[in-house]
Structure 1
Amino acid sequence: MIPSAQIMDGAPRMSLDAVLSRIDTDLDAALDRLFDLLKIQSISTDPAYKADCAKAADWLVADLAAIGFAAEKRDTPGHPMVVAQHDGPGPHLLFYGHYDVQPVDPLELWHRDPFDPAIEETPDGKVIRARGASDDKGQLMTFIEACRAYMAEAGTLPCKITIFLEGEEESGSPSLVPFMREHADELTADLALICDTSMAAPGLPSIATQLRGMVKDEFTLKGPKMDLHSGLYGGPALNPLREISKIIASFHDETGRVAVEGFYDGVPDLDEELRRQWAEAGFDEGAFLGRIGMSQPHGEDGFTAVEQIWARPTLEINGLWGGYQGAGTKTVIPAEAHCKITCRLVGDQDPAHIRACLRAHVEARLSADAEIVWEKAGDGAPASVMDTSRPEFETARQALSDEWHTEAVFAGMGGSIPIAGLFKTILGMEAMLIGFAKDDDAIHSPNEKYDVASFHKGARSWARILDAMKTV
């Protein structure tokens, strides 16, 4: 007899309730496993931790093998990848996460050893405090724990699953694209699942369906041949700092709209159903801005803060400098000034077109005797917009709603997650981004945390999603 199953068509069919109950009763052990992974100092950007990154990959391979996956550590020129496979009757799903973490500096701002994880009580509930707790070890383990519970109850998984874990996400992913191209056949699936995201608001499950793209640029504005005495040359000499300030001020109009001709080519109107979902999502604009000392949004007029972040493009000045930077005063007209710029892109904005428009805008505003020298153009990334008409998206949204007892939303993301675009361009796969982090998790910062409730309900959510996906 199979107490938690029904016999249908001669084969046992699992009760989802049994899987969810297993996750509940196994929570303490699941936290112990997560703590073992969090103790590994897998800082990918620092060569001193190369062995620790390999250790984290080995730990994950052993854990996945223990629950029935065919798991391997795959070497790369940098840190290893982990690839694990398990066959199943439903659609083929690829799950992506990363096991590497950011450096912990400044260490003196941490309340405890960042690689000595612990449960702490806070006014908002219990949290897991450690580097990587939210980004991304706690998140990726929610999926593994869902698979563990399902395997324990059913002996198999409801879908064919490939797990793909990277060890260089926090250091630019230099090995990722070559590895994906070389192993495209085994990594290509019906749909990619990415867990490196957050909820739109506390307790509000979210599926990120649009990610902003990115263009970076940098230029030097040159004027006189050398730094000049401001008493001797002040007035007749061109001052690069004054010139660059005029150019920077021309980037936006008085409404906050980018004033670069052609910048909005490819920007779609905001879908009214998405606007409704976002308005009802419980996003607290005042609290969000208040945490950073702001009293109101300063982007485009006519859009809420969340709409500005998720659905509108931006042009930001990231660095501006020139002239004397030391203590006291130096009466100098500098020979040159410098500017760093990033643009966040949405919809069908083309990175190359945006860069060309930006450069044309700057060069058209140069005074006589001023010269612009552009840095070598870096790669740009277009925005990623997911096809939410696919049935998997509504299936997952309903599964999340059932677990969290509130309507899950299709959300945007202000940042860029290049792997989502790479899955589409290299492997021809749509990606679905579901994560359970919160905006106050302090990822990349001292005292990073992940709510115990996020970890627990995250595992339950993935179990519900996998169970629902078997019939899509």
Structure 2
Amino acid sequence: MQNVQAYIDEHKQRFIDELIDILKIPSISADSAYKKDMLTTAEAVKEALQKAGCDTTEICETPGHPVVYGKKIIDKNLPTVLVYGHYDVQPPDPLDLWNSPPFEPVIKETELHPEGAIFARGACDDKGQMYMHIKALEYMTANNELPCNVKFMIEGEEEVGSEHLGWFIKNNKEKLANDVILISDTGMISKDVPSITTGLRGLAYMEVEVTGPNRDLHSGLYGGAVGNPINILSKMIASLTDENNHITIPGFYDKVEELSAEERTKMAEAPYNEEEYKKKLNINDVYGEAGYSTTERGSIRPTLDVNGIWGGYIGEGAKTVLPAKAFAKISMRLVPDQDWKKISELFKMHFESIAPEAVTVNVTAHHGGFPYVTPIDTEEYQAASKAYEDTFGKTPIPQRSGGSIPIVSLFEKELESKIILMGFGLDTDAIHSPNEHFGVWNYLKGIETIPNFYKHFTEAKK
């Protein structure tokens, strides 16, 4: 038998090589052209679970991309940990901004990762973090250190809103029955300041289409006389926030949870340097809602952002065209107690109401999710805190995240379990962006820490 650090040291290169193999597969759930790659990735995850020690593994069909399920039950009287992760990734565009091809993983040293970081789409979000759990199981089964039961639910639609995971959960409650749900799809403050995510923002994702004339027009003959959809769309979007970057949609803030001064003071205790923050992003100044700090804007406040905008001629050279249509994709990050379905309705009503008669507007709600907050006084959270203390030598800081995992609130509702978010990524890992990466140190640290959660959680349940 080996302790976890000795096991990792012996198998380090294999752990890295196996992750790289999965990162090579372009499992892009948003693009139907990659459906075969999605299935290939699901098969690879299933095989990895088998090799790690799961007694049962299967690929479960859904109306969309499949869910990979695995379990190892050592004693029905012991508690069960359900591990959730996802094998799908974001589209890699724009490709010209990658320093190396997104699906040809490379390890490069960086200032924050002198031991090397794996650069590839999905390296941190979420293949690398999902795979930590598989390797942690391998260690525990190989060394007879698994103290409780474990199940895995690895989905393929997280990056498109987990549209069919709710269907899968509702139809498989007995299969998924557990005592706690463990997720690593978040991050921590830094390599020397561990943290546990205690809150996630919700999400409402919209697409808008503005239509003007029945065809593209000559901008000289018709410009100034016919409404230009791009000009109008730009003005409409600009009006969605005021001079204080406060969102102007009527009713948008009605249900927003306002944190107390005491809670905001406690949040401010987390290490943060605004000059370093700006330097990392190569920006001259921060920008956001008046009256809140940068960390608050990115975690406890709702937002509205344009994720993409297009229309007219964007090719090389000039084409004097007045376009017939203009489009934009807009996302809103939500906080407790905002309901993403209600917010989507409010957005649609408001956006249609501010359109001038010169154009028509079509608003589509793509997907969304509810915000989530986990208390820090539970035995589940305390088990996670002790696990970090074991490997980092210090108590982790509870921290709310600005990101969203839309399905998390459904987990608690349908499976009646607490969720623990043990992320090992950093905010500099460029998830959803070109040159996404995941530090080798972080990857191996996750494998080292996860078994300690199983140990402390099982002890708390005895």
Q: CA deviation at 1:25?
A: 4.6
Match of 1:39 among 18, 21, 25: 21
What amino acid is aligned across from residue 83 of structure 1 in structure 2? G
| Aligned-partner residue type, residue 125 of structure 2 | D
User: Which of residues 410, 413, 416 in structure 1 aligns to 2:401?
Assistant: 413
Counterparts of residues 366-445 of structure 1 (less than 5 Å): 366-367=355-356, 369-443=357-431
Q: Which amino acid aligns with 2:234?
A: S
Q: Which amino acid aligns with 1:160?
A: N
Measure the CA separation in 1 of the matches of 2:91 and 2:214: 41
Q: 3-state SS of the aligned residue for 1:289? A: helix
Is residue 468 from structure 1 mapped to residue 456 from structure 2 by the alignment? yes
In 1, the alpha carbon distance for the partners of 2:232 and 2:46 equals 55
Is residue 2:186 matched to residue 1:197?
yes
Matched with 1:27 is: 9
- Alignment partner of 1:283 is 2:266: no
Residue 180 of structure 1 corresponds to which residue in structure 2?
169
CA contact (8 A) 2:166 2:407 kept: no
Quote the offset at 1:373 in angstroms: 2.4
Deviates most, 278-287 or 300-309? 278-287
Assess, with a 3 A threshold, how the Cα gap between structure 1 residues 288 and 164 changes in structure 2: closer, same or farther. Answer: same
The match for 2:303 among 314, 326, 331 is 314
Q: How many angstroms apart in 1 are the aligned matches of 2:163 and 2:459?
A: 37
Match of 2:31 in 1: none
| Cα distance, 1:464 vs structure 2 | 2.3
Distance 2:193 2:250 in 1: 38
Deviations 1:152-196 (A, max 9, x none): 55x353333222233454566565333323321121212211012
Superposed CA deviations along residues 205-264 of structure 1, whole A, max 9, x for unmatched, are 222222111112233334455555555555554444444333222211111111222111
Q: Deviations over 1:296-319 (max 9, x none)?
A: 221101212221111111112233
**Contact kept? 1:39, 1:115, Cα under 8 Å:** no
Q: Residue 71 in 1 paired to residue 56 in 2?
A: yes
Give the Cα separation in 2 of the matches to 1:238 and 1:334: 9
- 1:196 is paired with a residue whose SS is coil
Matched letter for residue 194 of structure 2: P
Report the Cα offset of residue 93 of structure 1. Answer: 1.7
1:85-104 equivalence runs, <5 A: 85-88=72-75, 90-101=78-89
Task: After TM superposition, give the deviation of residue 346 of structure 1 in Å.
Answer: 0.8
CA distance in 1, matches of 2:456, 2:259: 30
Amino acid at match of 1:419: I
- 1:127, 1:449 within 8 Å by CA — same for their partners in 2? no
Q: Is the 8 A contact 1:23 1:146 kept in 2?
A: no
Q: TM-score scaled by structure 1? A: 0.82
Q: CA deviation at 1:341?
A: 1.9
1:57, distance to aligned residue in structure 2 (A): 2.7
Return the alpha-carbon distance in structure 1 between the equivalents of residues 323 and 393 of structure 2: 61
Alignment of 1:106-255 (within 5 A): 106=95, 109-111=98-100, 114-115=103-104, 120-123=108-111, 124-129=113-118, 131=120, 132-153=122-143, 155-170=144-159, 173=162, 176-224=165-213, 235=224, 237-255=226-244
Q: Is the 8 A contact 1:100 1:166 kept in 2?
A: yes
Q: Is the 8 A contact 2:27 2:87 kept in 1?
A: no
Alignment of 1:297 onto 2:289:
no
Contact conserved, 2:160 with 2:367, CA < 8 A, in 1?
no
Which letter does structure 1 place at the counterpart of 2:47? W
Secondary structure, counterpart of 1:215 in structure 2: strand
In the TM superposition, what is the alpha-carbon distance from 1:104 to its structure 2 partner?
6.3
Residue 396 of structure 1: CA displacement? 1.8
Report the Cα distance in structure 2 between the residues aligned to 1:62 and 1:365, rounded to whole angstroms. Answer: 56
Q: Distance in 2 between matches of 1:337 and 1:196?
A: 34
Q: d(CA) in 2 for partners of 1:208 and 1:196?
A: 10
Question: 1:133, 1:450 within 8 Å by CA — same for their partners in 2?
Answer: yes
How far 1:416 sits from its partner (Å)? 1.5
Q: CA 1:175–1:27 in structure 2 vs 1: closer, same or farther (change >3 Å)?
A: farther
Letter in 2 for 1:295: N
Structure 2 residue aligned with 1:83, among 70, 86, 90?
70
Q: Deviations over 1:120-176 (max 9, x none)?
A: 5444421242534433343234334444444455x3533332222334545665653
Paired with 2:174 and 2:160, the residues of 1 have a C-alpha distance of 26
Contact 1:240/1:336 (<8 A) preserved: yes
For structure 1, which segment, 222-231 or 183-192, has the greater mean C-alpha deviation from structure 2 after superposition? 222-231
8 A Cα contact 2:198 2:421, kept in partner: yes
1-structure distance, mates of 2:70, 2:320: 61
C-alpha distance in 2 between matches for 1:340 and 1:108 = 21
Q: In 2 relative to 1, CA 427–330 (structure 1 residues): closer, same or farther, beyond 3 Å?
A: same
**SS of alignment partner, residue 355 of structure 1:** helix
> Could you tell me how far apart the structure 1 residues matched to 2:91 and 2:366 are?
25
Query: Structure 1 residue 59: deviation in Å?
Result: 2.6
Structure 2, unaligned stretches of length 5 or more? 29-33
Aligned residues: 448
| Structure 1 residues 241 and 72: CA distance shift in structure 2, 3 A | closer
Letter in structure 1 aligned against 2:132? T
Q: Tell me if the contact between 2:203 and 2:371 (Cα under 8 Å) persists in the aligned partners.
A: yes
Q: CA deviation at 1:102?
A: 5.4
- Alpha-carbon distance in 2 for matches of 1:27, 1:269: 46
**Greater CA deviation, 214-223 or 106-115?**
106-115
In structure 2, distance between residues paired with 1:256 and 1:168: 32
Letter in 1 for 2:440: V
- Equivalent of 1:457 in 445, 451, 462: 445
* Partner Cα distance (1:238, 1:167) in 2: 42
Structure 2 CA distance for partners of 1:271 and 1:201, relative to 1, 3 Å: farther
Pairing partner for 1:339 from 320, 323, 328: 328
The residue number in structure 2 matching 1:5 is: none
- How far off is 1:328 after superposition? 5.2
Task: Say if 1:63 and 1:37 are closer, same or farther in 2 by CA, change over 3 A.
Answer: farther
TM-aligned CA distance change 1:150 to 1:305, over 3 Å:
same
Assess if the C-alpha contact under 8 Å between 2:384 and 2:420 holds in 1.
no
Displacement of 1:374 in angstroms is 1.6
